[in-house]
Amino acid sequence: MKKQVDPKSDIILAIGMIIISAVVYIGAMELPPPRYEPLGSGAIPKGLAVIMAVLSVFLIIRALPHLKTFEGNHDEITDVTPRPLLAAIIFGLTMLFIAVLDFEILSFMPAAIIYMTSIGYFLTHRNLKRMPYYFAFSVVMVVGNYYLFTKVFYIDLP
Amino acid sequence: MEHLITSFTTLLQPLPLALLFVGVASGIIIGSIPGLTATMLITLTLPLTFFMDSVNAITMLIGMYVGGISGGLIAATLLRMPGTPASIMTTFDGYPLSQQGKAARALGLGITASFIGGLISWAFLAVLSPPLAHLALTFGPWEYFTLVLMALVMLASLSQGSMIKALMAAALGMMVHLPGVDPSLGQMRLTFNVENLEGGLSLLPVLIGAFAVSQIFKDIIIIDREPPRVSLDRKGMVISFADLKKYGINFFRSSCIGTWIGLLPGIGANIAAMLSYTTAKNVSREPEKFGTGHEPGIIAAETANNASVGGALIPLITMGIPGSVVDAILIGALIMHNLEPGPLLFTTNPEIAYGVITAYLIGNIMMFGIMMFSVVHIARMLYIPRAYLLATILLFCIIGVFAVANRFFDVWVMLLFGVLGFIMERTKMPLGPFVIGFVLSPIAEMQLRSGLMASDGSLTPLLTRPFAATFFAVSILSLLWPAFIQWKNQRNAIH
């Protein structure tokens, strides 16, 4: 059975792109008019914003007739249970890790070991029996990368 | 010829050879693991190449490119899971043949096909590149602008799925490159008073975010998927001379198709494999056997996808236009090493231009050797627990991006583009046009503005300059052709 494209997601995508186009167009309007050349700084941003907006409108027009008739695709993934919440948790932990380093709350090694161990806890489905191995793996990875980047490549890590 | 020989002499030294070997081997390993791609590997390796000599860096990256495209056939054949998009067509016949107890034969055919495809396209690369570079020196701003336009439109029209979304992706990629300093006037634009945006968005955070981080989160969602265990031995893997003779025409035809498709800007290995497979099926006396473990199907797909690598390198080194998404990343690598991609590369940095050509040949030879001798061991990599692999790659993404300029703004940008890349894939908006748009945006803008300045604002050169007019016509045709085909099909359906 041929997969249909979800019209709702197309419409949301198109609206998002129209918003981005509007932001770019408004930002480009503040640029001074061209003086030494035909186009100037603002022409390309405005042109791209208009093209994007037009394409987005086409997408909405194409999606609207299918809104009522779309039955929904059978889930692409059928052999395993998808885990979007797990991905969201890992994403949150990653943001937290970056924030801890950015605001200099902890230095790289302790922060990274805690981060790797935490995501390992969730990626192994909170299996506490595997945690000692994962903790050891995290320490090796973090310390190894730290020495690789600071001593071999001479890059300062936080 | 002299430059080519010098390049071979330079490359056949311990360090470049070792780096090329590392590149090919890591490309094969990463390419073989479903969910990880050559694009991801090359993107993640870019920060490490800062510290290398330019020739060595490009050599290693070319090795990864060759290895990554070839490695995908392992999982495609054994598990029906393409290691890379380029190996999708290989699953059609590789997997059924392996299920008939002939896994070694299927792999041997695929590896040999990859090697022959690489060799034949190398010949085209070596012979065509210098004269094409010479021709490209006569190109002006209108030729370059229309070439970029053609690349973006062709990529959008040939992308699987919606052409509108592919064009939107290309436009989005071009928009993302706009914030920062206007290269022509030095005017700050679209920074919205954010100091960190004054330097624009760097290539690496955008690429790593869009390709690597988004892929990691996609893999986390299906982390419970375990590949089925498959036993494999090397018996029957070596292809006989009789087989080479039997499939000679297929090898040559598929190589030519792959090289030609690779040559077209923006179009990559998966399209080459698809076209070659379809052609092989159409000219075959036994088309019904395709998809059942038919050997010519494996040969057509694998020969073409590897040949497309050589073809894609031709516009890269002669004109600075990427032949595929991976080549767009290689352009980023050249820029990072203060090299200007384009026809002048052959004049100002011949060691790089010819280095690419020689690295491609030696890389193919290494790929053949590594895969023939180690495929049984490489296949074991398919079973590395995802929990360890994904966490390591994520950590490496963060450190690698931070290492670019020692600022966390880049890491936040990477995360943002990770989210964007994830959303784009979920909404079937292809990433390829986005990346090519991002990389080619400054070239397109600069060339258009230069052209208009030279012609006093007139667009007439688009129609009067032969090459520019040809590229422009192909762009329009590529835009209208899918719509025409759709209209024709609808009309036929009604009648």
DSSP-assigned letters across all residues of A105-155: SS-HHHHHHHHHHHHHHHHTTS-GGGHHHHHHHHHHHHHHHHHIIIIIS--
Q: Which domain holds residue A55?
A: 7-66
Greater confidence (B88 vs A55) lies with A55
Q: d(Cα B116, Cα B258) in Å, to the nearest integer?
A: 12
Are B86 and B269 contacting, i.e. CB atoms less than 8 angstroms apart? yes
Contact A145 B399 (CB under 8 A): yes
Are B103 and B364 contacting, i.e. CB atoms less than 8 angstroms apart? no
Given a cut of 60, whether residue A89 has pLDDT beyond it is yes
* Chain B residues with CB-CB distance to A46 below 8 A: none
- For residue B403, the distance in angstroms to the closest alpha carbon of chain A comes to 6
Same domain, A23 and A58: yes
* Chain A residues with CB-CB distance to B412 below 8 A: 98, 102
Q: d(Cα B273, Cα B275) in Å, to the nearest integer?
A: 6
Mean pLDDT of B475-494: 81
pLDDT digits (tens, 9 = 90+) for B460-483: 888 899 999 999 998 998 888 877
Q: Which of A46, A91, A107 best tests the B interface by mutation, with the highest count of B CBs <10 A?
A: A91
Same domain, A11 and A40: yes
Structure tokens given for A13? 């995508």
Mean pLDDT of B6-33: 90
Give residue B59's pLDDT. 92
From chain A residues 46-105, the ones with a CB under 8 A of any chain B CB are 48-49, 51-52, 55-56, 58-59, 62, 77, 79-84, 86-87, 90-91, 94-95, 97-98, 101-102
Q: d(Cα B449, Cα B442) in Å, to the nearest integer?
A: 11
Same domain, A61 and A93: no
The closest CB to that of A91, out of B165, B217, B396, belongs to B217
B-chain residue closest to A119, CA distance: B391
A-chain residue closest to B222, CA distance: A82
Q: d(Cα A24, Cα A56) in Å, to the nearest integer?
A: 15
Alpha helices in A30-82 (DSSP H): 43-63
Contact A27 B192 (CB under 8 A): yes
Contact B453 A5 (CB under 8 A): no
- For residue B410, the distance in angstroms to the closest alpha carbon of chain A comes to 11
User: Of B99, B101, B190, nearest to A24 (Cα)?
Assistant: B190
Given a cut of 90, whether residue A25 has pLDDT beyond it is yes
Contact B178 A62 (CB under 8 A): no
CA angle B215/B176/B334 to nearest 5° reads 75
Average pLDDT in chain B: 87
Same domain, A89 and A146: yes
Q: d(Cα B305, Cα B115) in Å, to the nearest integer?
A: 11
Give residue B121's pLDDT. 95
Look at residue A2 and tell me if it is in a domain.
Answer: no
Alpha helices in B137-162 (DSSP H): 141-158
Contact A58 B412 (CB under 8 A): no
pLDDT digits (tens, 9 = 90+) for B49-66: 877 888 899 999 999 999
Q: Which of A135, A155, A157 best tests the B interface by mutation, with the highest count of B CBs <10 A?
A: A155
Look at residue A79 and tell me if it is in a domain.
Answer: no
pLDDT interval class at A2 (50, 70, 90)? very low
Give residue A4's pLDDT. 59
Structure tokens given for B166? 């592919």
Q: For residue B77, give every residue at least 6 positions away whose Cβ sits within 8 Å of its Cβ, in sequence order, or none.
A: B90, B91, B94, B95, B97, B98, B103, B106, B107, B110, B298
Give residue A38's pLDDT. 83
Are B156 and B145 contacting, i.e. CB atoms less than 8 angstroms apart? no
Contact A40 B221 (CB under 8 A): no
Lowest mean pLDDT, pick from B61-65, B284-288, B401-405, B415-419: B401-405
- For residue B386, the distance in angstroms to the closest alpha carbon of chain A comes to 8
Lowest mean pLDDT, pick from A7-11, B186-190, B251-255: B186-190
Look at residue A108 and tell me if it is in a domain.
Answer: yes
Question: In the beta sheet, which residues pair with residue B189?
Answer: B180
The closest CB to that of B453, out of A17, A37, A59, belongs to A37
B192: left (phi over 0), alpha (psi -120 to 50) or beta: left
- For residue A38, the distance in angstroms to the closest alpha carbon of chain B comes to 6
A-chain residue closest to B215, CA distance: A87
Residue B236: exposed, middle, or buried by beta-carbon count in 10 A (0-12, 13-18, 19+)? middle
* Chain A residues with CB-CB distance to B401 below 8 A: none
pLDDT interval class at B495 (50, 70, 90)? low
Q: d(Cα B24, Cα B20) in Å, to the nearest integer?
A: 6
Give residue B183's pLDDT. 76
Contact B456 A38 (CB under 8 A): yes
* Chain A residues with CB-CB distance to B410 below 8 A: none
A-chain residue closest to B173, CA distance: A48
Contact A9 B51 (CB under 8 A): no
Give residue B338's pLDDT. 84
Q: d(Cα B285, Cα B280) in Å, to the nearest integer?
A: 10
* Chain A residues with CB-CB distance to B178 below 8 A: 24, 44-45, 48
Given a cut of 70, whether residue A144 has pLDDT beyond it is yes
In chain A, the N- to C-terminal Cα span, in Å, equals 53
Look at residue A38 and tell me if it is in a domain.
Answer: yes
Give residue A1's pLDDT. 43
Question: In the beta sheet, which residues pair with residue B181?
Answer: B188
Same domain, A46 and A93: no
| Buried-state track B10-37, b at ≥16 Cβ within 10 A, e below 16 | bbeeeebeebbbebbbbbbbbbbbbbbb
Q: Which of B142, B172, B223, B415 best tests the A interface by mutation, with the highest count of A CBs <10 A?
A: B223
Mean pLDDT of B371-391: 84
Question: In the beta sheet, which residues pair with residue B156?
Answer: none
Contact A84 B48 (CB under 8 A): no
Give residue B157's pLDDT. 80
- For residue A150, the distance in angstroms to the closest alpha carbon of chain B comes to 10
Contact A153 B457 (CB under 8 A): no
Given a cut of 90, whether residue B268 has pLDDT beyond it is no
Contact B395 A145 (CB under 8 A): yes
Structure tokens given for B241? 């001379």
Number of structural domains (chain A) is 2
Q: d(Cα A19, Cα B211) in Å, to the nearest integer?
A: 24
* Chain B residues with CB-CB distance to A124 below 8 A: 387
* Chain A residues with CB-CB distance to B50 below 8 A: 153
> Which domain-ending residue is among A37, A66, A95?
A66
Residue B495: exposed, middle, or buried by beta-carbon count in 10 A (0-12, 13-18, 19+)? exposed
Contact A116 B391 (CB under 8 A): yes
Asked if A113 is an interface residue toward chain B (Cβ–Cβ < 8 A), one would say: no
Q: d(Cα B251, Cα B295) in Å, to the nearest integer?
A: 12
**CA distances from residue B34 to B76, B370, B390 in whole angstroms, order as listed:** 9, 19, 12
Supply the ipTM of this predicted assembly.
0.91
User: Of B404, B31, B56, B55, nearest to B207 (Cα)?
Assistant: B404
Q: d(Cα A79, Cα B365) in Å, to the nearest integer?
A: 38
Q: How is chain B split among helix, strand and coil, in percent rounded to 5?
A: 80, 0, 20
Mean pLDDT of B320-326: 83
Domain boundaries, chain B: 2-494
Most confident of A76-85, B310-319, B335-344: B310-319
A-chain residue closest to B394, CA distance: A94
CA angle B44/B411/B64 to nearest 5° reads 5
Give residue B228's pLDDT. 67
